[in-house]
Amino acid sequence: MTLKTVLTLLTIHVVVLISCSKKDKSFENPHELPNLGNSNTSYGWQYVSNSTNFNGCIDTAYTHTAADVTVLTVEGTDSNGNAFLMALGSPDGNLAPGTYSEIEGAGMVVTDKEGNSFYSKSMTIKINSISSSDVALEFSGNFTDDPSTNNTSFSITSGKLNAVIGGDSPCN
């Protein structure tokens, strides 16, 4: 399977997930979740965009493998109604600690509280740790509201998230 095919499949996956997602938004704050191997892990997400701090809860995080391609998908929301969907594909089926760009299958869609969607035009995801039960990563990127012109609408820096894979990442 070529990288172009993998990226096309990843893009289709992200579009389908966004258009079909019916998950309720979480309106809680991150908290400590014990008994997952690291009792000091705070589950949730945060990033800085245009000098504004954003943070919230993980709604869902899961992996899916098809045709030897594994995709990690993470969705999160905040109490103001902002949301994101992040996807990271691995053509060899192995998601491991390391740094991934859009060329390696990293992508993200952000939807603001007004319902405007922004698409990553350049993206870096650094997986710090990943197991079958949780993931910790950092991310940054530039986003566009019009992929046909590829203008930069805003940037995300200092992004971090910790999520339970395949289970609840509850918040208080």
Q: What is the pLDDT of residues 48-86, one digit of tens each?
A: 998 999 999 999 999 998 888 899 999 999 999 999 999
Would you state the pLDDT for residue 93?
A: 83
Structure pTM? 0.76
CA pair distance 107, 66, nearest whole angstrom:
18
Give the angle 54-142-2 at the CA atoms, nearest 5°: 120
Identify the band that residue 41 occupies on the pLDDT scale cut at 50, 70 and 90.
Answer: low
Query: For 92-108, what is each residue's pLDDT tens digit?
Result: 888 999 999 998 889 99
Q: Pick the more confident residue, 60 or 152.
A: 60
Burial class, 149, CB count within 10 angstroms (exposed 0-12 / middle 13-18 / buried 19+): exposed
Identify the band that residue 149 occupies on the pLDDT scale cut at 50, 70 and 90.
Answer: confident
Do 156 and 47 contact (CB within 8 A), yes or no? yes
Q: H/E element holding 8?
A: helix 3-20
The mean predicted confidence, pLDDT, of the chain is 79
Would you state the pLDDT for residue 46?
A: 94
**Cα-Cα end-to-end distance for the chain:** 43
Burial class, 138, CB count within 10 angstroms (exposed 0-12 / middle 13-18 / buried 19+): middle
Would you state the pLDDT for residue 1?
A: 45
